[in-house]
Amino acid sequence: MIPRMERLPGRAQAPLSRLARVDALEFDGVPEAVAWVLRDAIGWRPGDIWGVARPRRVCRSLLERFPCLGDLDYSRSWADHRVSLHASMRRPLARTASKGKPAGLLWENGVVFDPPWAEASVDGLPLVDIGGKPPDAELGGLADLLKAVSGPDAVPAALLEAAYEPGDGWALQLADGTRLLWGKSGWTEEKLARLRQVLADAKPRFGRTLTADLKHFEDGKIFVRVR
C-alpha cells in the first residue's frame, strides 16, 4: 500500500536543496541483486533532490514496471537524508515458452514477466507453453491451478509441463506419465477432488499411464483412458 503524502518537517527557512536531499536509498525484502536493478530503474544518484511526493511516485512506477513485486511501501528520514523502500516479491510458479523459446516466468498474480535479474530458484519449476496465446484470464486461472496442484497429494505426481490450445484449454503432463486434459481454467478445487476419486479407482485397474479428460467437467463427466 502506498503511504499518504508526508509533510516537510518544520525547519525554519531550510533550503530545499539541503532539506530534501536523498543521500541514501535502501531496499529491504528483496535480494541484493534485485535491489540493484530497482535502484538503477529509479535512476537515483546520491544527493538527488526528492520532493514530498517523489517516493510515492517511485513506488507506483516500480509496481507498474515490475509486476513480480508484491507490496511496496516506503519510509523517509529527513534528518539522515535517507529513503527506505520496503518491498516483497511474488512467487514464480512456472517457466514459460512460446514456439520453443523462453518467454519469461509466470508469477502467482497470473502475469508473465521476465525479470532483469538471475533467478536461481526456477530450474525445478514446470514449463508452460503459451504459444497458443491464452487470454489473461486463463493465465490467471492457470496460476491458481498451479498453486493448487503444488499442495500435498493434490495430484498423483509433480507437474512437469502445461500447454494451452485455443478451444481445448490446458493440458497438463505429470511426472508419473499421467496426462490431464484440464480444459479451461476454473472449478479447480472441485475438479481436483473428483479427479483424485477417479484416479484412485482407475490406476489399480489400468496402470499408471492414463489420460484423464476433464474438459466436460461442467456436464458432470470425466473420461479416463489408457495411454
Q: Which of 71-85, 110-124, 172-186 has the lowest mean pLDDT?
A: 110-124
Q: State the pLDDT at residue 4.
A: 46
Q: Which domain holds residue 58?
A: 16-89
**Share of residues in the chain with pLDDT > 70 (%):** 90
- 185 vs 17, higher pLDDT: 185
CA distance 136 to 139: 5
In a domain, 9, yes or no: no
With a cut of 90, say whether residue 41 has pLDDT above it.
yes
With a cut of 90, say whether residue 179 has pLDDT above it.
yes
In degrees rounded to 5, what are phi and psi of residue 114? -105, 105
110 & 76 share domain: no
The CATH number of the domain where 32 resides is what? 3.10.20.310
In a domain, 28, yes or no: yes
With a cut of 90, say whether residue 1 has pLDDT above it.
no
pLDDT, mean of residues 53-65: 96
Q: Which of 158, 148, 159 is nearest to 187 (CA)?
A: 148
In a domain, 7, yes or no: no
Per the structure, how many domains does the chain have?
A: 2
CA distance 149 to 146: 5
Q: State the pLDDT at residue 161.
A: 97
Q: State the pLDDT at residue 7.
A: 54
51 & 111 share domain: no
Q: Which of 8-17, 77-86, 149-158 has the lowest mean pLDDT?
A: 8-17
- Read off the pLDDT band of 13 (50, 70, 90): very low
- Read off the pLDDT band of 204 (50, 70, 90): confident
Q: State the pLDDT at residue 122.
A: 81
73 & 103 share domain: no
pLDDT, mean of residues 141-163: 93
With a cut of 70, say whether residue 162 has pLDDT above it.
yes
Predicted TM-score of the model (pTM): 0.84
Q: Pick the last residue of a domain from 89, 109, 138.
A: 89
The CATH number of the domain where 199 resides is what? 3.40.50.11690
pLDDT, mean of residues 169-185: 94
99 & 204 share domain: yes
Q: Which of 69, 78, 2, 61 is nearest to 35 (CA)?
A: 69
Give me 172's grid cell. Answer: 497438463
- Read off the pLDDT band of 3 (50, 70, 90): very low
Q: Which of 74, 71, 61, 160 is nearest to 109 (CA)?
A: 71
pLDDT, mean of residues 122-135: 92
Cβ neighbourhood burial of 43 (10 Å; 0-12, 13-18, 19+) = exposed
Give the ranges where 21-135 is alpha helix by DSSP (H).
Answer: 32-42, 54-65
